[in-house]
Every structure is written in structure tokens, then in C-alpha cells.
Amino acid sequence: MEGFTTLTVADVEYDTDESALITFAEHLPFRHGQHLVLRREIEGEEVRRSYSLCSRAPNGALRIGVKRVPEGLMSTWLTREVRPGDQIEALAPSGNFTHEPATDSVERHMMIAAGSGITPIFSVMATVLAERHDAEVDLLYINRASNSTMLIDDLEDLRDAHLGRVRITYAFTRESGDAALLSGRPDRNRLEELITAGLIRADVDHAWLCGPLALVEDARAALIHHGMPSERVHFELFGTDGRAKRSVTSEARSATVVASGRATLHGRESGFEVHEGESILDAVRRVRPDTPFSCQAGVCSTCQARLLCGEIEMQVNYGLTESEIARGLVLTCQSHATGADDIVVDFDV
Ligand code: FES
């Protein structure tokens, strides 16, 4: 699909006091674990945000889960104001937090989700359980408190529908639970204790992590330390704790041009100039406002392109795998020119 398409809200379910599950009327092809980039003008400003799909079945209705963030224009609109019949623009579902379940062996999965990180995890979980009738899933689901726990009814329905194959452990950071181990901040030491207690399993075929950067980094390190191959520890981030380099505003942009190049998008090539300090995405967007992007933090991969010529350096990369980088893919929102050659990028990958 080229560019944005219009989606119509079919249903809004208020999941907790601060979150909503929004189902769209249209059916777009997607894979479990992928996300939608939504675009809307709010208070005179174009706002783009990515929300993970949390559809109930591999080919279920297109549904996203949204948790309100303080002063978040899009999340406030989606969790307080949106109504069935409202329309919003969206890019085609995208993202790499997904995989093909094996057909020749039983798959065991360990999933760790924090807060709204449950949304893509739920989608992966529903799919592996539906597609493989012998798949097993352990989920550790961390929230501030029980009343901020998203998708709890859907998770319990999933557990009931797949009795004996789903184990869910709830942990709370600001609420005392049955076990001290499941209360408080899940730092690296606590994660090690949870592995020792068997509540996090490192002897599985795949691990899936989604939440804030510190938790994902700690959980990933702990699982790898306990023998999981790194390529089987899949992760998706909801934020980078400010480590990503943000775009340079037009007022702050240096007048010095440090590189030039060509970008192909939707089959059309455009020339661009890169000013000192700005990303390739910012440079391309000046001549091609239709360039896809969302988080501008190196997480969502919406801005990915193939680098065909030139030298760049990525400030951070939380969205591309090593094999994708080896195939020449770059996150243009984090890419900065480092060489003298022209930069040639292809967004039609
Ligand atoms: S816009 Fe999200 S990774 Fe670049």
C-alpha cells in the first residue's frame, strides 16, 4: 500500500481508566506483533504515533490498544474522545516483532510484557496458540497495579481457551501481591530471582519482550546469560529513555550543507541536501513530505530504507536486526552522513 489510508473506528472499549481498545472497520493485511502508524491533525498540529495491533486471532479485526500518556495529544484523543464512526489516517501495518511458528516441533515461548507492552505480546500469543495446537506460552506481565492492567479479559479468555498451555504470572510495581518476588521494580537482580524461581524460563524456543528500554535490556541480558541464543530473544521497545537523537527543527538547522543524495519513494526519485546535524529522514522530508516516519527515535522502523550508496552512521538502532542491517537497511531518522559520497536511499523496500 502506498502512503496513508483512511480507517473508520468501529468500536471503542474502555479497557482501564487510562486505556482503550479500538477496533477499525477496515481489514488490512497484517502479521502478529506489527503496529499501525496513525496520523491526525490535533490542535492544529500533525501528530503521528505508532500503536501495536492486539487482534484476537491471526486474521482477526484490526484492533489497537492505547494507554494514555501525560499530555499525549494522540493517546488522549484515542482514550477519551474517539467514537465509532470517527476516521483517522494510517500507514499499512509494519514491524518486525513477528515470526513464522515452526511446523516440525513443539514451540515453547516465554513472554515478558510491561504496561501497554502487552499489546504486541498479546497478538503474538494469540497467533502462536491458534496456529500451533501444541505451542506453550509462559507470560510474565508487569504493571503498576491491578487496575492499570490492560487486556486482562482477553488474556484470561486465551488461558481458558487453551487450558494447560498458557501460564500467566502477574506482577505489580506499586501493589503488594501474593509473593514478594512479584512486587516492586523488576531490576536485573529481581529478574535473576524470577528465573531461579521458574517464573521466567530461559529453556524455551523463543522469548518475547516488550516494555520500557531498561526492563527490555535487563531481561534480554538475563535470558542470554542463562543460555538463550540472542537471535531467539525478540524485543520491541516503547520508548528509548531519551537516548535517540531527535530531529533538528528548521529554525535550528545549520546553513552548512554536508552531503547531497537521491531518494526513491513510491517509484519516484528526488534529490536532497543534508544540512549539518540533521538526519537523512529530515533531509529527505524537505523534498518528499510523503516520506514515512513515526517515532523518530529508532524504534518503530517506519522510516527504514535501503542504503544503496554513501556512508552513514546510525545514532541508535532499536528497530533493525543484524541481518536486516547486513542487507543494507538503515533507519533514516537516526542516520547521519559521514562520508563525502552522494547518499542514495530506496524507501521502496
Ligand atoms: S521513525 Fe521510527 S525508527 Fe525512524
3-state secondary structure of 280: helix
- What is the 304 CA–ligand 1 centroid distance (Å)? 7
> What's the gap between Cα 112 and its chain centre?
14
In a domain, 86, yes or no: yes
Quick one: average pLDDT of 9-30? 95
pLDDT tens column, 69-101: 988 999 999 999 999 999 999 999 988 898 887
- From residue 194, alpha-carbon distances to 171, 183, 201, 343 in Å are 11, 11, 9, 47
**Cβ(299) to ligand 1 under 6 A?**
yes
pLDDT band of residue 341 (cuts 50, 70, 90) is confident
Dist. CA 294 → ligand 1 center (Å): 6
In a domain, 247, yes or no: no
138 or 320, greater pLDDT:
138
* Cα separations in angstroms, 341 against 232, 297, 337: 37, 26, 9
The pLDDT of residue 13 = 96
Are 294 and 185 contained in the same domain? no
User: Based on the structure, what is the number of domains in the chain?
Assistant: 3
- Give me the pLDDT at residue 244, please: 55
pLDDT tens string 214-232? 999 999 999 999 999 998 9
Percent of the chain with pLDDT strictly greater than 70:
95
Give the other-Cβ count within 10 Å of 279's Cβ: 26
Domain that holds residue 265: 257-346
pLDDT in tens, 234-282: 999 876 665 555 555 555 667 788 899 999 999 999 999 999 989 999 9
d(CA 211, CA 287) in angstroms, rounded, equals 35
Helix (H) or strand (E) holding 258: strand 257-265
Question: Does 312 sit in the ligand 1 pocket, CB within 6 Å?
Answer: no
The contacts of residue 249 (CB under 8 Å, 6+ apart) are none
**Are 273 and 229 part of one and the same domain?**
no
Check which CATH number belongs to the domain holding 291 and give it.
Answer: 3.10.20.30
Expressed in angstroms and rounded, the spacing between residue 281 Cα and the centre of ligand 1 is 9
DSSP string, 154-220: HHHHHHHHTTTTEEEEEEESSS--SSGGGBS---HHHHHHHHHTTSS-SSSSEEEEEE-HHHHHHHH
- Statement to judge: residues 222 and 308 lie in one domain: no
Q: What pLDDT was estimated at residue 110?
A: 98
